[in-house]
Amino acid sequence: MRYLFILLLFCLTTCCQGQSAQTLKLPGLQQRVEIIRDRWGVNHIYAKNEHDLFFAQGYSAAQDRLFQMEIWRRQATGTVAELLGQQETKRDIGTRLFRFRGNIDQELKHYHPHGPQIIRAFVEGINTYINQILKTPEKLPFEFGVLKTRPGLWTPEVVISRHQGLLENVRDELNFGRLVKLIGPDKLRELQWFHPSVQSAEPDLTLHVNGDELFQPILELYEAFRLPLKFQGRESKIDENEACHSRDAIDKWFATEKQYVGSNNWIISGKRSASGYPMLANDPHRAQSTPSLRYWVHLNAPGWNVIGAGEPTLPGISIGHNDYGTWGLTIFETDNEDLYVYETNPANPNQYRYKGQWVTMKTLTERIPMKNGQTVSATLKYTRHGPVVFEDLNHHKAYAVRAGWLETGCAPYLASLRMNQARNWAEFRQACLFSRIPGENMIWAERNGTIGWQVVGLAPIRKNFTGLVPVPGDGRFEWSGYLPIQQLPNKLNPPEGYVVTANNNLTPADFPYRNAIGWEWASPSRAHRIEEVLNDGKRKNLVDFMALQADYLSIPARTLVPLLQYLASPNDRTEQALSLLRKWDYQLKPESVAAAIYVAWEGQLKQAVYEQKVPQVAQPYLKTLPSKRVIDALLTPTPERDSLLLTCLDRAVAELTERLGSDTDDWAYGQRKNKHITLTHPLSDLVDKTMQQKINLGPVLRGGYAETVNATSNDLNQTHGASFRILVDTENWDKTLGINTPGQSGNPDSPHYGDLFPIWAENNYFPVYFSKEKIRNVAETTTTLQP
């Protein structure tokens, strides 16, 4: 049915829309370039040489996402305070403190043999569009007028910024250190699910630094440059109450990102597909926003023919396919950050003790421009391990972050450029060796039948510590290089005929370099459900893959609801809820009343178990318990357990009654008062209601939650999930399906600003054509760029 919807969508758009053509003369091009924009806003770029291909990619991306790219540029260059005011000073200091300061040509060559030329051509294309539109500033997207600013020009240093990378795990490390001091290592291991482990005393959480001194704003500068921008801030001094709320908001943002950022991907061999060819599915789970994080594009030039999506700020394609194979990614937990604590010289705080000697920190001075036209001077300090983020003058201590991602070649996703030209598994795996940030499960499927999985990422080898708590920076706790990527987990043509990754642990407990990779992983529920469906004995086609990406079955519900089977409640409304749950199919569908009851009940159970298990003193530093710990606590049958199940169901019924009313017929899970999504533009508070209606999208009803394959977060207004999806059957590249909500453009005046939002809301797709004949049939505009 949903595949028929896609065919109908194709027919309607083909029959009902005309095509337009234009020619533009652009300085900097070497030869003619043709750009066909299809009905869904995807640019198919045909160039005669590599320079022009990436020039046109940069030009097109700037045309569609200029304000998004300007914010990236300011975050990358540490010039946000110049736009938004002095409250952003710490962000800019943090950005400059953690800026890549290595050799730029070596850096660019890491991502591709022609990396310097590709990235500079991409930047040249962006700047050509910016210079062009600045001649008619009234045509700039509305955000520039609201903020009274103009876009600035790019450099290659902007492209290779790490500020939005998925980085691990220095905040956890500091909090674990605090928790070890407060409740001890055994209690922390009991509460947190560190795995895989061989012994109960793993991982080692021994604290070799003064735990009492960890309860300071040690990572304030690090956090400042990692946080998303807020456009309604004031420049006046905030009071203590607001500061407290700000701390809570910061903690919540990082906790939410940790909990919900993830992905699903899977590949199957031809023996499991209806077509007899390998198939791939991928849906990264990131923050839902307008515009979308990702951006579809098709790149065609001699040596290049690749389609898919990346971020508009980067050249190339991070997820997609070429003429030979298709690839996708999910996050794999590598730990590429450590927090070092130093004793400093009482006579000179710029010196720290290392191997018995006083070593002088390297210092730099930066001038940071402010919105009022003034500048602020900032002194940046570095130890041998990395940027100094905090100095405790009272105790003569300094704290620095060793960030592996400050090494050459760690711009997130940029090494995908090498993958874009891979012609087989050997070449793809070779390309993977250059992919350092973030840690990822890379999967590959090619038309000749090969499927494979290779973990990538920067994985420091720690021979005598786990990297889970802060350590002294005196020379006793050092990295012993990085684990070669080819030694990270991998598979080629597994006998089971599939690979499934969903941020869950896929590493054996006896992995020889255990402390080079993470100890915390996503709940395996999504992965288990995908494997369950793939193993149902039926050969799969694209319709099956669509259904699986949209799957709403909750494995935790299938575990917990049977615990209610023989319980009864004296409360009539709770008894009614019990009856609905017992007849339920565990699907969190928007129309389901039982789904609404279950999700509210699970939330109450999690909170109750958390309050029982987590000592109050630890709660500021351990905000939630892993699902496994909650479920394990509920599986032992005792009268107290049964009482808790019913008490929490009472609370869930009361919660729903307050929010949705007393009539259970009005308790459908998906509704604007319950599970839904509203996309609010970041500048929404700064414009009038007419503009708000134009730039904000929704609400639309949603199903699922954080642990369904169709991951929609645990918030009633969905904050995270799959905004981009791709499905590929390698039998025929023109059968590829995709989506990118809310649309390809970030400009609300464009028809492609929100046109994909209703399609996505129904868990549907558009056809992603690869052959030029098919593309011409769905062309909306054809633009010729002339030198």
pLDDT, tens digit, for every residue of 280-335? Answer: 999 999 999 999 999 999 999 999 999 999 999 999 999 999 999 999 999 999 99
**What are the average pLDDT values for consecutive 10-residue runs of the chain, which has 787 residues?**
55 56 97 98 98 98 98 98 96 98 97 98 98 98 98 98 91 98 98 95 97 98 94 44 64 92 97 98 97 98 98 98 98 97 98 98 98 96 98 98 98 98 98 97 97 98 97 98 97 98 95 93 98 98 98 98 97 98 98 98 98 98 97 95 98 98 98 98 96 98 98 98 98 98 98 98 98 98 98
Report the distance separating Cα 527 and Cα 538, nearest Å.
Answer: 18
How many CB atoms within 10 Å of residue 319?
27
Contact 305, 299 (CB under 8 A): yes
- How far apart are alpha carbons 483 and 488 in whole angstroms? 7
Q: Please give the C-alpha separations between residue 587 and each of 153, 522, 582, 595, in angstroms, as whole numbers.
A: 49, 21, 13, 7
Rounded-to-integer distance, Cα 152 and Cα 77, Å? 11
Helix axes 542-549, 525-534, angle to 10 degrees: 160
Spatial separation of the C-alpha atoms in residues 652 and 578, rounded to whole Å: 11
Calculate the CA 569 to chain-centre distance.
42
Neighbours of 367 (CB within 10 A): 9
pLDDT one-digit tens code per residue, 214-256: 999 999 999 999 999 989 743 333 333 334 448 899 999 999 9
Taking a C-beta distance cutoff of 8 angstroms, is the pair 389, 218 a contact? yes
What residues contact 153, with CB distance under 8 A and at least 6 apart?
Answer: 127, 130, 131
Name which of 548, 587, 555, 591 is nearest 725 in CA terms.
Answer: 548
- Whether 266 and 443 have beta carbons less than 8 Å apart is answered as yes
Residue type (1 letter), 671: Q
Kind and range of the H or E run holding 611: helix 593-613
**Given this model, what pLDDT does residue 242 score?**
38
pLDDT in tens, 169-191: 999 999 999 999 999 999 999 99
- What count of other Cβ atoms lies within 10 Å of the Cβ of residue 462? 20
Pairing of strands 304-310, 460-462: unpaired
339: nearest Cα among 192, 202, 213, 254: 213
Q: What is the pLDDT of residue 168?
A: 76
Q: Residue 246's pLDDT is what?
A: 83
Q: Exposed e or buried b for every residue in 666-698, given b needs 16+ CB within 10 A?
A: ebbbbbeebbbbebbbbbbeebeeebeeebbbb
Q: Indicate the residue type of 146.
A: V
Predicted model pTM: 0.96
Strands (E), 319-416: 319-321, 325-331, 337-345, 348-354, 357-360, 362-369, 375-382, 388-392, 397-403
What is the predicted pLDDT for the residue at 247?
87
Sorted by sequence, the CB contacts under 8 Å of residue 347 that are 6+ apart come out as none
Query: What DSSP letter does each residue of 69-89 carry, written as one string?
Result: HHHHHHHHHT-HHHHH-GGGH
169: preceding bond cis by omega (within 30 degrees): yes
